[in-house]
Amino acid sequence: MPQLFLNQKSCETTADPERVNRAMTELVKAIISVAKEDRQGTELVMRESLKALQLAQGHHVSRWAGTSSAKGGLWAFLLKMQTKWPHQKVFPDGETFSDVAHSHEGEPAPELGFAHLMGGVGISLLLEDRWDADRLTLIQEQLVDDEDVGAVIAEVELRHLASREHVEAHRPWIREQAEAALRGDLSSIRTGVELWERCADLFPHLLFLPRVETQLRELKQYWVHPVRKRLAEMDRAVLLWDAAAEPDGPQWGSLVTPEHSTRKRDHCDFADFDGETRSFDTHLRFTPDEGRVHFRFVKTTRKVHVAHIGRKLGI
C-alpha cells in the first residue's frame, strides 16, 4: 500500500521548460506503474494542492497540464489519484513528527523524511542527478527524552523513484505489500487484535505479561505497524543471539536504554510471571508519539518478558 511523498526539493530548481515537462511526464508514468500493481493502496501525498504545484522555479504545473502528453490522460489520472495534502492529512491523529528531522546531502528534506517515517516512498522530478536513484540515504536526527542521550543521529534508507526504471527495483516489494492481505502474513496485520492473536506464533521468543494483552488489543491503528516491527526485531535478535560473543545480551536492532532512576523507581516495577515484582526499566521506542516497549531479557531461558507496550510510562 505505497504512499508516494513528493520531494519538494526536486521542484525548486531552474530548468528548461521542455526538460521540466519531460521529467513530469516520466514521473507520472512511474506513478501509474506503481498504481497498476496496487491501485487501491497507492496514494500521492503532497505539501500543497496538485493544482497549486510549482514543478520548477517559474514553471507552474498548468504549463505541463497543457502539453499533449498530459492531455492524453496523464493529468486526468493525477486528478483521480485522491491526492493527500498537506502531508499532515496522512499522519496519525495528533502526530506532527516535530521531534525528528531528516536531511539529504546536507539539505533539509522533510518530505523524504515523512516518507521514511510513514513507511512510504519518496518521489522526485528527475531534474538533478542526485534524484536518479531507486534508494536514497537520509540523515535522521531524533530528539529523545533521555538526558544522557539528547539526540540520536543515524543514516536511514528510503525507497525512492523518479522514473519507470526506478519502479522496477521496487516492483517485488509493491506486489508483496498488495498481496499481503490475501496471504495473511505479518505485513497484513492491521489491528491490535490481529497482532495479539498471532503473537505466540510470530514471536516465539517473547512472553507478554497479562496486562499487555489489553494494551495490544486496544492498540491505536497507527501504532500497529511500528509495534509489530519492533517485536519482530526483538524476536530475531534473540534468535541470533550468541551468548559467548555477546555476554551482555542480544543486539536489539534499535536504540535500547534504561530509565532514569526516578522514573525507574516510580513507574517500572511489575509482577513477573512467577509473581515476583521486578524492574522492567529497559525500554525501546517506537513512533509516532512517545511509544515505548518495556521489557527484561532472561538469559537462562532466552526469553524476553514484555511488561508494557504503549505511551511512555508516567505521562
What's the pLDDT tens digit per position in 14-66?
A: 999 999 999 999 999 999 999 998 877 788 999 999 999 999 999 999 999 99
Query: What is the pLDDT at residue 187?
Result: 63
- For all residues of the chain together, what is the average pLDDT? 88
**Domain termination residue (choose one: 129, 156, 183):** 183
Any idea what the Cα angle at residue 247 is, between residues 284 and 262, rounded to 5°? 40
Least confident residue range of 12-21, 186-195, 265-274: 186-195
Per-residue pLDDT of 104-128, as tens digits, reads 999 999 999 999 887 789 999 999 9
Q: Which cell is 91 given? A: 499522519
Task: Based on the fold, state whether residues 120 and 262 are members of the same structural domain.
Answer: no
Domain final position from 183, 211, 227: 183
Give the residue-averaged pLDDT of 273-299. 90
Residue 1 has pLDDT above 70, yes or no: no
Pair (197, 161) in one structural domain: no
Residues 130 and 198 in one domain: no
Q: Is pTM, for the whole model, over 0.75?
A: no
User: Which residues on neighbouring strands pair with residue 155, listed in sequence order?
Assistant: 139
Please check whether residues 167 and 205 belong to one and the same domain.
no
Q: Please count the structural domains in the chain.
A: 2
Q: What is the pLDDT of residue 181?
A: 46
In this structure, the answer to whether residues 23 and 55 fall within a common structural domain is yes
Question: Which of these three, 183, 206, 240, is where a domain ends?
Answer: 183
Residues 93 and 215 both lie in one domain: no
The sheet carrying 283-286 orders its strands as 206-208, 303-311, 291-298, 283-286, 256-257
Cβ of 168: how many Cβ atoms within 10 Å? 13
In a shared domain, residues 229 and 300: yes
- Mark whether 159 and 283 lie in a shared domain: no
Pairwise CA distance, residues 90 & 107, whole Å: 24
Same domain, 71 and 174: yes
Region 6-15: mean pLDDT is: 96
Residues 153 and 139 in one domain: yes
Quote the CA–CA distance of 92 and 99 in Å, as a whole number: 15
Tell me, what DSSP letter sits at residue 72?
Answer: I
Q: Which domain holds residue 54?
A: 3-183
